[in-house]
Amino acid sequence: MGLHSSILEAHQIDKRFPGVVALEGVDLMVGAGEVHGLVGKNGAGKSTLVKILSGALQPDAGSIRLGGRTLPSLTPASAQAAGIATVYQDQQLVPGLNVAENLFLGREPRTRLGAVDHARMQSEAGRALAALGLQLDPRAPLPRLDMAQRQQLTIAKAVQREGRVLLLDEPTAALNKTQADFLFTLVRRLVGEGLAVLYISHHLDEVLAIADTVTVLRDGRRVGTVAADALDKAALVSMMVGQQLVEETPQEAPTQPVETVLAAIGLRLGADSTPFELAVMAGEVLGISGTLGSGAFRLARILAGLERPVEGSMTLEGRSYAPVRVRDAVARGVVFLPEDMLREGLVMPMAVAPNVSLTNLREVAPGGRIRLRRERRATRELTRELAVVPDDVEREVRLLSGGNRRKVLLARALFADARVLVLEEPTQGVDVEARREIHRLLRSLASEGRAIVLATTDLEELVQVCDRILVLRKGALAETFRGPATTPQALLASIVAGTAPTERRAP
């Protein structure tokens, strides 16, 4: 740290929420020209700290200094004006405008008559983007940009506005490997020009690779700030968790699957894709993977009744299964747990208990009257079994951390007594501990005789949790892996086999 003069300093930040201390006496110093990693488990206080630095939340106590000057209480606008730019997914971009217009929004070059000088704006945008090594067409309308390109544009916009500190919150969450690598190059280039970057991520390898310094939060306190090259993953994890952890893999001996629960014949995902068949056994975790557009996620959604195949028939427990709506699938005991919980899964303003009972409310409403006490008791049993923290089913779901929200979704599936659980990326954005916990739960659910279908692009997850893994390419089943001999490398090779190198839309 000594190398860098710190540009952003947070001193003794306290933040309380009703019943929770989110941050307590947290210090953070980010130097000009450094990438500063910020890690911690879910609920450790990372998001709260980022929100405070970006002005979205007001701290209860503490001060923030930028370039040696103490900032008065921050709002998102004043933080931006001071040079602290936060890059979330793409919410700072206007969909109706093109790349250059977004880049210059609010500070468009003018002609002498005061009209927007489009020609100059396009050419200046082109220069600015090229200077950052970005291959974005200034005239491209926003909807033509993929997630990675939108993120690049957001970063360019921040830099363009004399940003001095860049807050990147889980910047690789929506990126594939190539896109992530490009992002790292961009970040290094910006840092080389004297920018300070605060990099928040669950991916510890990523943080260790890109950060110069890492600050670890645990339970709202700063555990330490360490130079990244003095750290390895195990050391980082133990700082985050607070105790030494043994390496990985909760793999129990896979149970012997016997009975076919869900089967499909002549399944065709796209108009010109090859039909294939598939069987999911009771007691197994079946992995499904593939690149974007391979049909892996579409297959999962077809099994859960969210989408329909072009052709093919399915059976569930021996009887014909042709769900037209999700409701039909749920009625047959097939429950889908979406990746995007906030948007698709949970009812945030409702408490834990009604969220858990939602799919099968009749269970606690005999004669059409909800028995609130019975509902609380029944749902509490499940949330305890899944170790949802805090142990309070009357708490609103929006007050829970990401890992615990996922557990609430799992509890809902259990409450509905699902025979088949279809999950999408169940551990995306979850911390190390919650991830193991969820993996352990999936295994134990399978061992109770349920069938688990796990659609994920997380190779370690596939290898650790699944009994069988189906790899899809171009809408068809390409390869099946089974048994403990499967390695992430072999899987990756199969997933990308025969696909062209990742395309970037040419500007």
Partner 1 sequence: MTPSEVRPKPLQRLRRALAAPGGQGAVVVTLLAIVVITAIGNPRFLGIQNILNVLLQISILGIVSVGQTVLLISAGLDLSVGAMLSVSALAGGLVIHATGSTLVGVAVALATALLIGTINGLLAATGRAHPFIITLGTMTLLQGVAIVISRGSPINGMGKLYDIFGIANVLGVPTPVYLLALALGSVALVLRFAPLGRYAFAVGGNEEAARLSGLPIFRIKVSLYALNGLLVGVAAIALSGILDSALPAMGTGYELRAVAAVVIGGTPLFGGRGSVWGTLFGVLLLGLVSNSINLLGIGANLQYVVLGAIITAAVMFQRSS
Q: State which of residues 134, 279, 358, 399 lies at the interface with partner 1 (CB under 8 A).
A: 358
> ∠ at Cα 451 (203, 433), nearest 5°?
25
372 binds partner 1, rule: CB under 8 A: yes
> ∠ at Cα 134 (132, 136), nearest 5°?
135
Q: Give the amino acid at 436.
A: R
Compute the CA torsion angle 418, 422, 428, 430 (nearest 10 deg): 10
With CB under 8 A, what is the number of residues at the site for partner 1?
41
Return the number of the residue (336 or 481) whose C-beta is nearest partner 1.
Answer: 336
Task: Collapse the DSSP code of 170 into the 3-class scheme (helix H, G, I; strand E, B; otherwise coil) and give the result.
Answer: coil
Q: Give the amino acid at 290.
A: G
362 binds partner 1, rule: CB under 8 A: yes
Q: Output the smallest distance, CB 372 to partner 1, in A.
A: 8
- For 299, how many CA atoms within 13 A lie in the half-sphere containing its CB? 37
Backbone angles phi, psi at 416, to 5 degrees: -80, 0
Residues 64-83 that bind partner 1 (CB under 8 A): 64-65, 70-74
426 binds partner 1, rule: CB under 8 A: no
361 binds partner 1, rule: CB under 8 A: yes
Q: State which of residues 58, 78, 444, 502 lies at the interface with partner 1 (CB under 8 A).
A: 58
Q: Output the smallest distance, CB 249 to partner 1, in A.
A: 31
Q: Output the smallest distance, CB 94 to partner 1, in A.
A: 22
Q: Output the smallest distance, CB 474 to partner 1, in A.
A: 28
One DSSP character per residue, 365-393 reads -GGG---HHHHHHHHHHHHHHTT-SS--T
Return the number of the residue (341 or 495) whose C-beta is nearest partner 1.
Answer: 341
345 binds partner 1, rule: CB under 8 A: yes
Residues 302-331 that bind partner 1 (CB under 8 A): 306, 326-327, 329-331
171 binds partner 1, rule: CB under 8 A: no
User: Which one of the spans 132-140, 200-208, 247-255, 340-348 is the region binding partner 1 (CB under 8 A)?
Assistant: 340-348
What do you get for the CA distance between the two ends of the chain, in Å?
Answer: 39
What is the per-residue burial (b if ≥16 Cβ within 10 Å, else e) of 336-362?
bbbbebeeebbeeeebbbbbbbebbee
Euclidean distance between CA atoms 442 and 428, whole angstroms:
15
Q: Output the smallest distance, CB 317 to partner 1, in A.
A: 17
Which stretches of the chain bind partner 1, using CB under 8 A?
58-65, 70-74, 306, 326-327, 329-331, 336, 338, 343-350, 354, 358-359, 361-362, 365, 368-370, 372, 412, 416
